[in-house]
Amino acid sequence: MFDENLVVVGTGIRVVGQLTIESMSWIQRADRILHIVEDALAVDVLSNLNPSARQSTLTHLYGENKPRAETYEEMVQTIMQNVRESGLTVCVLYGHPGVMAYPGHEAIRRARAEGFKVRMLPAVSAEDCLFADLGIDPATNGCQTWEATDVMWKDRQIDPTSHLVLWQIGAVGDLTFHKGRYNLLALPLLVEKLYRWYPPEHLVTVYEAALMLGCEPLVRTLPLSGLSAEVVTARSTLSIPPARTVKADAVVYENYKALSISKG
Amino acid sequence: MSLREFLTALATDASQLTAFQANPDKAMQDAGLSSEEQELVKSRDEARIRQYIQGSGEGDTFLVAINSSQAPE
C-alpha cells in the first residue's frame, strides 16, 4: 500500500484551494518531482512541499512554434527516465492530470508496461469549474466533451439535445505552442460546422476559470455567430447549451411504465 | 511576508485559508502585506495580481496546453 513508483497528480485549476491533501502528501514524499504548472506561484507551492520541485519543471520543453506532440513525447520520456532512476516519482500537472492532458496517461501506460506500480489521482479540471460557475449539472441533459480541434476536423456527430463543452477553443487548429495567442484561422471552419446542429443566434458561453483566490471567472455569452478570435484566449473553454429538447423513447418508455417500478 | 509568500501559504494551510476567508483584511495585515498588496488582492483583478506576483520572482506565466488532437487519417 502506498508503494507506487509513479504517481500523477493535479494542482487543480486554482492551486490555492484546489490542491488536495492526498496530492500534497505524495509531493512531500517524492524522491523526484516533475511538473507542468502554469506559473511561479504554483512552483512556489510545490517547492514548499518538496524543495526538489524548484528545478524540475517540464515546461522548458515547450518551444515557440514547436509542435506540442513533440513536446509531450519529450515530457513522457523525461518522466520515464526519472521513474527508472528513483523510488518514487511524482508528476504534477495543471488542472486534472488526466483530462485534456496527454503526458500523465502515457507515462502511466509506459511505466506500467515496464513493471512499475503506478497511480493517477483525480483533481479539479476546467470543466469542473465550468459546471460550478455556470450552474450546469451534466445529469440534466447529459454532457458531450471534446477537444475543439477534434470536432473541427473529425466526423463527430453532435447531439444538440445535450450540453456540449469544447476544450481549447482558443487554440483550435493550431498544434504548435505559443506563449501568446494561437493562430485561429481554423475557428471559422469550426463555427460553420457547428451550424449543422445549432442556429447562428444560439447563445454560447466563452468561459475561463479563475486562477487566483478571490477572483471571478470570465464568462462571456454571445451568439454562436459572434465566436471569433477576438473573444477567446488560450485559456478559453466553450460551453454550448442544448438547442432543443429531447423526446422520450416511446417504445422503451411504455415498456418501462408497464414495470410499475416508480409509483407516485 | 510578500503577497506571493502569503498566497503560497494559503495553498497548503487550511487554517490560514480559513482565517483569510473569515477576515481578509486582518489576515493580510497579520501577514504583513503592504498596503499596495492588500489593495491589489481586494481589487480582485486577476491579471494585475498575476503580473505583480510574476514580477517578484523567476519564471514566466504562460498558458499551458497539455493536449493536442491527432489529425484524421
How far is the CA of B26 from the CAs of A16, A215, B2, B29, in angstroms? 19, 19, 15, 5
Compare all CA atoms of chain A with the CA of B53 and give the residue at the minimum distance.
A41
- Which three cell numbers, joined as nine digits, stand for B72? 484524421
Q: For residues B13 and A17, what is the distance between their CA atoms, to the nearest angstrom?
A: 9
Judge whether A94 counts as a catalytic residue. Answer: yes
Residue with cell 476559470: A209
Beta-carbon separation of A40 and B45 below 8 A: no
Q: Return the amino acid letter for A222.
A: L
Percentage of chain A beyond pLDDT 70 is: 99
Instruction: Report residues of chain B scoring pLDDT below 50.
Output: 56-61
pLDDT tens digit sequence for A115-159? 999 999 999 999 999 999 999 999 999 999 999 999 999 999 999
Beta-carbon separation of B12 and A149 below 8 A: no
ipTM (interface predicted TM) = 0.88
Q: Return the amino acid letter for A22.
A: E
Judge whether A72 counts as a catalytic residue. Answer: yes
pTM, rounded to two decimals? 0.94
pLDDT tens digit sequence for A66-123? 999 999 999 999 999 999 999 999 999 999 999 999 999 999 999 999 999 999 999 9
**Which of A24, A43, A149 lies at the smallest CB-CB distance from B12?**
A24
The Cβ of residue A3 has, within 10 Å, a number of other Cβ atoms equal to 7
pLDDT tens digit sequence for A32-70? 999 999 888 999 999 999 999 998 999 999 999 999 999
Residue A184: pLDDT over 50: yes
Beta-carbon separation of A102 and B71 below 8 A: no
**Which of A59, A153, A234 lies at the smallest CB-CB distance from B71?**
A153
